[in-house]
Structure 1
Amino acid sequence: MRHLFIVITFLLTGGSTLSAQVIIDGIPRDTSFTVYSTYIKESKKRTYIKIVKPLLPDNVIAKDGIIYSTPSANRSLHLNIYRPDDEKKYPALLMIHGGGWSSGDLSLQIPMAEQIAAKGYVTIPVEYRLSPEAIYPAAVHDLKTALRWIRANADQYGIDTTRIAVSGCSAGGQLATLLGVINGQASYEGLGREYSNHTSNVHAVINIDGISDFTTKESLDGVLEAISKNKVSASVKWFGTTYDENKEPWIEASPVYWVTKESAPVCFINSSIPRFHGGRDELIEKLTVYNISTEIYSLPDTPHPFWLFEPWFEPTVKYMTDYLDKVF
């Protein structure tokens, strides 16, 4: 039985700020980032946008709520699988939701996963631990475990393990890119985790408006902006420290610092807000040194969470499937 508690806290810092924390089965959840709340905000500026709802295509089957990891005795992590309704093997795409490393859930990726699966892919929206529950690098360890799980269960779900990609939106884009550039780096696998006889390497990355460097001026300005509003930035919450206090996790989690000849090719799909491209061009330069391919698709006059809404959802899916078709 699921137990839900609402904890309301008041912060008095020259004004009153109301924040809500939801605790489900003992797990703290930040519920601030949802499709609807984002729609309310963005539709004030762009009245024409429409929420994209889940719609399972006729040729796609779904398996929801599969446990892929148990990081502790009372905690299970889940993923969904969408695939064409036949017996063939297909490339896999692990899909990582956004939400500032603190909020959101795998349901944010379902509409996209359903449509991409219809194009001939096994799409896998994934749950990972967020900062209210566990700070960095727990999320990276979870996602590496998910990749090993995919290989361990490839035959059951009709997955071609020679073609595994990872995509992510916003915070998920940063995580996806980090997973791709750290191919072969054992330090990020986590200790005592499941399926250790399988690799967590990926063959391609799709980064949808996720930063590639936490140490750029734009990224650090975001921290200062939060402070000016009597808030704590998402990155400070995730790292559990400010950049001035301890630079190490900020550098370590930045994909731009990890590029090697083993890194995966990356496709960037970006909004018109430069802050969310932080480190992208520098990352491309480093990948180019090793002749690792990159592509950029930019959508003009778009808000940061453009992928959740039409008129941008459909072209985003097309960019993704066109890229996957090309690399696979």
Structure 2
Amino acid sequence: MKRFLTVFTAATVSLLNLTACSGAKVLESLAPSESVMVTKDVVFDAERDLALDVYRPVDAQGAPLVVFFWGGSWQTGDRSTYAFLGRTLASRGFVVMIPDYRVYPEVRYPDFLYDSARAVAWARAHAHDHGADPARLSLMGHSAGAYNVAMLVTDDRYLEAVGGARDWVTSWAGLAGPYDFLPLNDAELERIFEPADPLESSQPINWVDGEVPPTLLVVSDDDPVVDPRNTERMAERLERVGVPVELLRVDNLRHAGVVVSLSNVFPFDDRVLSTVSRFLGRVPPTGPAQAMSE
């Protein structure tokens, strides 16, 4: 069975990677559709022409809110690719918002982080409109999106710039994220992060303190894109300062498979989906946001 699962997983991820568009449509077609309401192209930043998609249970009332950020090396990506994730988590009782953020060459560091912060602020302010509880706000991201989330929960500057604070966030989950990736050995990444001064200030691991919310980190041991040691070092640093952190290590999913597994294409192995659902659903509301929702 294990060998079958390994072959099935590798074949599925390879198939879905053939073309992002067709792969995304396959995933969405397999995602739950009953009892899930979808609202697309909701503008949260008209000045920068940024929008988000909302996935929610049809009867959502006070549901946990998850804002998910996609990856693509801060150069590519599209929120519509992750409809499968929104539908799947909505079917499990979450309200999921998947926003845009600008990428290179339109912008460089740290502009995409401020875009992400504006999306979080909008999501929190409009949570009730979509049946979500702003007191149960979690952030999640994959790859570059996990980096964006990690920076929001470790470095105060971004949420403070939109009138918020890190204590808005109840918990966060990072999937196959780069958290400690210096030195830069890629010309495009060098251009993207050139504005950071010093360059070390662009690394989430260097901002970790005891105020980071409870954390779930997921990594595949065979990830060829982002060195799994990024996740290992981040978990160790969080533990060192007393942050509650859960580390899920999987195998045979590589890089894309970690996020693809938040779908219905792996019927024999739902470790990532079940862990993410349990983690994001169990954390109690934060104090300040709870007061806001009352």
CA contact (8 A) 1:113 1:125 kept: yes
Structure 2 length-normalised TM: 0.78
Letter in structure 2 aligned against 1:39? N
Distance in 2 (CA, whole Å) between partners of 1:125 and 1:259 is: 25
Deviations 1:149-206 (A, max 9, x none): 1222122122211111111111111112222223xx1x32486xxxx44546312111
1:266-308 deviation per Cα after TM superposition (whole angstroms, max 9, x unaligned): 2111122364334333322332233211111122122211123
Q: Is 2:282 the partner of 1:326? A: yes
Shift of 1:106: 0.7
Judging changes above 3 Å, is the alpha-carbon distance between structure 1 residues 174 and 37 closer, same or farther for their aligned structure 2 residues?
farther
Give the conservation status (yes or no) of the 8 Å contact 2:101–2:116.
yes
One of 266, 277, 283 as aligned partner of 2:228: 277
Q: Are residues 1:253 and 2:253 paired?
A: no
1:51/1:308 contact within 8 Å kept: no
Higher RCO (CA < 8 A, seq sep 6+): 2
1:68 is matched with 44
Distance 2:237 2:164 in 1: 28
User: Does 2:281 match 1:305?
Assistant: no
Q: Distance in 1 between matches of 2:32 and 2:105?
A: 32
Work out the CA distance in 2 between the residues paired with 1:126 and 1:319: 23
CA RMSD of aligned residues (A): 2.8
Counterpart in 1 of 2:287?
none
Report the Cα offset of residue 41 of structure 1.
Answer: 8.7
Gaps of 5+ in 1: 1-34, 43-49, 227-231
In 2, the alpha carbon distance for the partners of 1:198 and 1:287 equals: 22
Partner of 2:212: 263
Greater helix proportion: 2
Change (3 A) 1:58 1:299: same
Q: Compare 125-134 and 275-284 and name the one that shifted more.
A: 275-284
Residue 105 (structure 2) pairs with residue 132 (structure 1): yes
1:188 aligns with 2:149: no
CA distance in 1, matches of 2:130, 2:203: 32
- What is the aligned partner in structure 2 of residue 53 from structure 1? 28
- Maintained 8 Å contact 2:35/2:58: yes
TM-score (norm 1): 0.71
Name stretches of at least 5 consecutive residues in structure 2 with no aligned partner. Answer: 1-12, 285-294
Structure 2 vs 1, CA of residues 60 and 51 (structure 1 numbering), >3 Å: closer, same or farther? closer
1:297 and 1:173 map into 2 onto residues whose CA distance is 15
Whether 2:134 is the aligned partner of 1:142: answer: no
AA of the residue aligned to 1:214: F
| Aligned counterparts, 1:204-223, within 5 A | 204-215=171-182, 220=184, 223=185
Give the AA of the match of 2:33: P
Distance 1:61 1:101 in 2: 29
The reply to whether residue 40 of structure 1 matches residue 18 of structure 2 is yes
**Could you tell me the percent identity over the aligned residues?**
23
SS at match of 2:37: strand
Q: Is the 8 A contact 1:96 1:109 kept in 2?
A: no
3-state SS of paired residue (1:260): coil
